[in-house]
Structure 1
Amino acid sequence: MKITGCIFLLLLVMTSVAAQESLGFSLQVKAGWQRPRIYGAEKDSMSGYAKTGWILGLSALSPIGKSLVLKHDAWLAMQKGETRLDLFPVSAAYRKYDMEIFAGPYMGILLRADNYGNGSMENGYATKNDLGYTIGAGYTFRKRLNAEIRYVQGWSPLAENAGTKAQLKAYRQYLSFTLGYVLF
């Protein structure tokens, strides 16, 4: 019974993949680096946030027209002292001749930070969420390898004083470069 179930599941997955390929759906694994920067009036009070880090993630492309595509990305961004889940839920992309340009919203969720406070400290600590937008461009080589450069601009303050709840006017922005492999 287990063998029959496994064969059925394998056939179901293969049929789904074949159907998605005919529609142009694509799934990629990506890895790369990011170079963050802090901007804003109080950026000088935010030391240690602008460390180069690594990215691992997935990217899905859903075609909605001949050259228009919806792009969905989820990345695990790891820097010294901080780990985030960066989500790009839906970016509109224009694709032509294996090149693409895209733009859309961004959300960063803090998973781990060395300087995250317990709510009773009197100095700044990292906030959990970051919202903003992204723009970028990419190129696919031989239908399997993808290179992409992306700019992300955050709108949410990165830190606040735990005692007074005053937000520091310091925001995240970064430039990332990723290499991807198209699974299907």
Structure 2
Amino acid sequence: MVFCAAAQDISSFSLQVKAGIQLPGVYGREKDSVSMTNKTGLVAGLSAVSPISRHFVLKHDIWAAINKDQSRLDVFPISAAFRMANAELFAGPYAGMLLRADNYGNGSMQSGYATKNDIGFTIGAGYTFRKKISIDVRYVRGMITLIEDPGNKEQLKAYRQYVAVTLGYVLF
């Protein structure tokens, strides 16, 4: 984020804090085998915006996602966004890192456990009110399997997905 800020005119770069709710889900052939990731959670983090032109910006987001069973660090390194007036549409890559999970094992367990990392993509839309308060709705879809069977090292065909709604406050 710092390099993006240095490359842009500082008056056009912006930074905001965000917090919201995450509604997780699972997709894939064996999604019914996974239940621990279906608990609603909270998200909080930072978002930086680097304008490219009048209607195109690059967004950089990082936040912690926490629910009863697990904590994750979700990173959206660079999302391309199209802005018109105060509304925007955006899409880009996503990476998630497991920080804590109640079901994570050491590889010698006899039942499944959560994988640590995830990659995928995000799409979303947002709106900014009075240039200070923003609201975003984001869909995230992972492409790395959630669960591994330690006995035979097979991956269950179940993948992470979620919808997050965040409110943001523009710091500058």
Matches within 5 A, 1:45-60: 45-60=33-48
**Following TM superposition, by how much is the alpha carbon of 1:96 offset from its aligned partner in structure 2, in angstroms?**
1.1
Partner-residue secondary structure (3-state), 2:135: strand
**What amino acid is aligned across from residue 66 of structure 1 in structure 2?**
R
CA distance in 2 between counterparts of 1:48 and 1:123 reads 13
Matches within 5 A, 1:86-165: 86-165=74-153
Name the structure with the higher helix share. 1
**Following TM superposition, by how much is the alpha carbon of 1:48 offset from its aligned partner in structure 2, in angstroms?**
2.0
Partner-residue secondary structure (3-state), 2:32: helix
2:29 counterpart residue number = 41
Kindly provide the CA deviation profile for residues 118-171 of structure 1, in whole angstroms up to 9, marking residues without a partner as x.
110121100000111000000000000000000001111001011211000000
Partner-residue secondary structure (3-state), 1:163: coil
Which residues of structure 1 form unaligned runs of 5+? 1-15
Partner-residue secondary structure (3-state), 1:131: strand
1:20 counterpart residue number = 10
Matches within 5 A, 1:66-77: 66-77=54-65
Q: How many percent of aligned residue pairs carry the same amino acid?
A: 63
CA distance in 2 between counterparts of 1:138 and 1:34 reads 16
**What amino acid is aligned across from residue 27 of structure 1 in structure 2?**
L
**What amino acid is aligned across from residue 181 of structure 1 in structure 2?**
Y
CA distance in 2 between counterparts of 1:111 and 1:84 reads 5
**What amino acid is aligned across from residue 36 of structure 1 in structure 2?**
P
TM-score by length of 2: 0.94
Q: Which of these two proteins has the greater Rg computed from alpha carbons? A: 1
- The Cα RMSD (Å) is 1.0
Name the structure with the higher strand share. 2
In the alignment, structure 1 residue 64 sits paired with structure 2 residue 64: no
Runs of 4+ in 1 over 6 A off after TM superposition: none
TM-score by length of 1: 0.88
